[in-house]
Amino acid sequence: MSRIGPAEPWVVREIGLPSDDAGHRQAESLFALANGHIGLRGNLDEPQPSGMPGTFLNSLYEVRDLTYPEAGFAFPERTETVVNAPNGKPINLTVGGETFDLRTGEVRRHERVLDLRAGTLTREVEWVSPGGVEVRLRSVRVVSFERPSVAAIRYSVEADAELRVDSDVAVDEAQPPPRDDPRASAVIEDAFVPVFHDRDLLVHRTRRSGITVAVAVTHLGPEGEIVTGPDRLRWTTTAHGSIAFDKIFAYGWDGLDQRDKARADRDAAARAGFDELLAEQRRYLDDFWAYADIELDGDELVQQGARFGLFHVLQAGAQAGPHPIPSKGLTGNGYDGHTLWDNESYVLPVLTYTHPACVGQALRWRHSTLDQARERARELKLDGAAFPWRTISGPECSGYWPAGTAALHINADIADAVLRYHAASGDDVFMREAGDELIAETAKLWRKVAYLDEEGVAHIAGVTGPDEYTALMDDNVFTNLMARRNLRAAALDEVSGHIAERLAVPYDERRQVHEQSAGFTRLDEWKSFADEDYPLMLHHHYLNLYRKQVVKQADLVLAMVLCGDEFTLDEKRRNFEYYEARTVRDSSLSAPVQAVLAAELGHLSLAHDYLAEAALLDLRAGGESGGDGLHIAACAGAWIAVVMGFGGLRDTGGRLSLSPRIPPRLNRLRFRLRWRGAGLSVTVTPEKVTYQVSSGGIEFRHYGDVVSLNEGEEVTFKLDPIDDRPAPPTPRPPGRAE
């Protein structure tokens, strides 16, 4: 049975083999390699054993019909589902006439290492065949950041026997049945129609979406025989004692020159050679970590989890444009491969301050779908644009409208991401070409849906905020405050400004807390907590959840993080205490945000616990299973918890400010970020904070005081001690207090 080895600073090590399909699925997600353009799940080289085969190309999808027991006006009629692309990973080995299969014989050693600095997955195996032959196998896998369409495998095997290797490109591999979970993907069988095949190339087209994909492959090493058919390309070589080769493959899709592009990219990579691909990968990651790394002295496990999360955020977004960043990245098919609002509110903020080039591409993709968002707004009889809750290519793909169409805050989330990116990057060209139009079109929707009551107060009724357990409410505070920001930035006209300043922010005077939405604090309390009931949505009908004070994920707390200047410190304290007792964290989006506000309010140990929850959610198999792909927002959440939480980073009004503090279990923390071309390093100990500028010049506020530094300069400030306030006295929900 496999296990993740002890925490190491820069690698994730798997020792042994998973014992069941669920274990294989989890490991395949953890050890996925991707570059935002293509993604290879961490399947073994040989096809079996396997949990869920997966090679994903961003925006390679199939269309499915949505059916409803009772249809309604403007319900989406079709959805999109990511499909398993032609797979270049499989390498079958035969030893002395026996198939290399780790379910047989004796596995003396099996170890895989995901190297977060090299950007590689290395596998080493020592196996004795049923016939008694000792076999040593090693493979190294890379998905190139510098060459978005290219992946490569270096493979070597030694044994005192006749060896045969069959290296394949396989199409339409059998998929396991979907999990009984609304977050799981549909399974698309026989997604492709063959178009063309040659000695080095397969070309296919999806049956309904009509996307053509080509994959070109070459093998560098011994002579081999090539056999191709409509759905498989096989390279075979034989030898006694040892075989070693490099397999390089490249994809072309969603364009007019798929064949030529796939071949050209493959040939360029082959000329460069495998060693150069590794060198390019290391240089790319060295640059990334120079501006993104987090150091946490005193918690080795969370240190590993934070870097693991950052690595997968980069893999999800590095080459995403002109495509979206899916909520599972390219590590699995969960959520059907859709992008959701957490892209703009969780993933893009991290990339904005660490690798901003990704963000410009991602937001340009949003802009490329603007016409579809305008059409959706017209369909809903609204103004401007209505961006989809779930999508791959731009149309609304969610058939569950109370948590989808009604979650209009996606418009404001996109506008907020645009404003944040521009403030941090100074990319005026992007604003002229895409950003200004995104802000204006998203704001027009708020001008249409908001209304003024008899007392002149503006309201937005019947919407769903981030908390999907409280749907179709009036005046969701998060939605209203984000809409206000959107309207102010757009400055459309006097009416829009009037609405923005008068938007309601519900407040319960008796309880002295803000209401998540109007009337929320007067709903009945949720009482039927039991460990086996989580997540609640899989054990209780939404009819019950919607009528109770039970919160799936941070909602008002998220509003206090992103719109913190709208609340006093005392309001934040009372609100945090109230909603801690009602938030069940059935979403991976919750813990990072709760960590940020806990840190701001001085609950430093509690914030550290929430940081650990986010950092280790997938890596150590805590919480939800990541078998159908990692939770990329939770991967981003570790950075959010550290930098926005303990670093106190805020960018209110486009101005960078920092208020560092450190939890008692850490001896030192250090993080890095980019701001308008400058590189800033922040080192925090219990006694002091040091700011160092590695490049450019920067101005920011330290606890409200303006600090200006140029390249090569540093400054140190004494930190006043912050008492570690205990967790709020109101108990968290049973089963969610750990």
The single-letter DSSP state of residue 522 is G
Contact (CB, 8 A) for 628 and 25 = yes
Q: Per-residue pLDDT tens for 475-505?
A: 999 999 999 999 999 999 999 999 999 999 9
At 2, is the pLDDT very low, low, confident or very high (cuts 50, 70, 90)?
low
Same domain as 134, residue 79: yes
Backbone angles phi, psi at 562, to 5 degrees: -80, -25
3-state SS class at 33: strand
Return phi, psi of residue 15, to 5°. Answer: -115, 120
Q: Please, are residues 517 and 469 in contact by the beta-carbon 8 Å criterion?
A: no
Does the pLDDT value for residue 215 go beyond 90?
yes
Q: Please tell me whether residues 330 and 261 are part of one structural domain.
A: no
Q: How many residues are there in the chain?
A: 738
The rounded mean pLDDT for the chain is 95
Residue 586 within any structural domain of the chain: yes
Helix (H, G, I), strand (E, B) or coil at 263: helix
Average pLDDT of the segment spanning 661-685? 97
Integer angstrom CA distances of residue 724 from 598, 599, 653 = 10, 9, 30
d(CA 409, CA 94): 55
Residues 596 and 677 in one domain: yes
What tokens does 493 get? Answer: 């006209």
pLDDT at 738: 65
Question: pLDDT tens for residues 532-553?
Answer: 788 899 899 999 999 999 999 9
Cβ atoms of residues 351 and 317 within 8 Å? yes
The reply to whether 675 falls in a domain is yes
Question: Are 359 and 260 in the same domain?
Answer: no
Six token digits for residue 708: 């200006």
**Averaged over 567-596, what is the pLDDT?**
96
Residues 134, 81, single domain; the answer is: yes
Q: Residue 419: which CATH number?
A: 1.50.10.10
Neighbours of 657 (CB within 10 A): 18
Instruction: Give me the pLDDT at residue 737, please.
Output: 67
Q: Is residue 198 part of a domain?
A: yes
What pLDDT shows up at residue 429? 98
Catalytic residue (one of 468, 600, 613, 624)? 468
Q: What is the dihedral of CA 339, 340, 346, 352, to 10 degrees?
A: 50
Query: Does 552 map to a domain?
Result: yes
pLDDT tens for 622-648 read 445 678 999 999 999 999 999 999 999
Asked if residue 521 is part of any domain, the answer here is yes
DSSP conformation letters of 673-717: EEETTEEEEEEE-SSEEEEEEEES-EEEEETTEEEEE-TT-EEEE
Following CA atoms 299, 304, 308, 311 in sequence, which dihedral angle do they give, to the nearest 10 degrees? 100
CB-side neighbour CA atoms (13 Å) of 404: 17
Q: What residues make up the domain containing 141?
A: 3-265
134 has pLDDT over 50:
yes
Q: Is residue 311 within a helix (H) or strand (E), and if so which, with residue range?
A: helix 300-317
Q: Are the C-beta atoms of 208 and 63 separated by less than 8 Å?
A: yes
Give the pLDDT confidence of 650-660 residue by residue, as tens digits.
998 899 999 99
| Cα distance between the two ends of the chain | 27
Read off the pLDDT of residues 700-724 as tens digits, 9 standing for 90 and up. Answer: 999 999 999 999 999 999 998 888 9
CB atoms within 10 A of CB 388: 24
pLDDT value of residue 182: 66
What pLDDT is attached to residue 623? 44
Residue 621 has pLDDT above 70, yes or no: no
Task: Let me know if 468 is a catalytic residue.
Answer: yes
Evaluate whether residue 729 is within a structural domain: no
- Is pLDDT at 728 greater than 50 in this prediction? yes
Helix (H, G, I), strand (E, B) or coil at 107: strand
Q: How many CA atoms lie within 13 A of 216 on its CB side?
A: 19
Q: Is the pLDDT assigned to residue 370 strictly greater than 80?
A: yes
Domain of 222, CATH number, reads 2.70.98.40
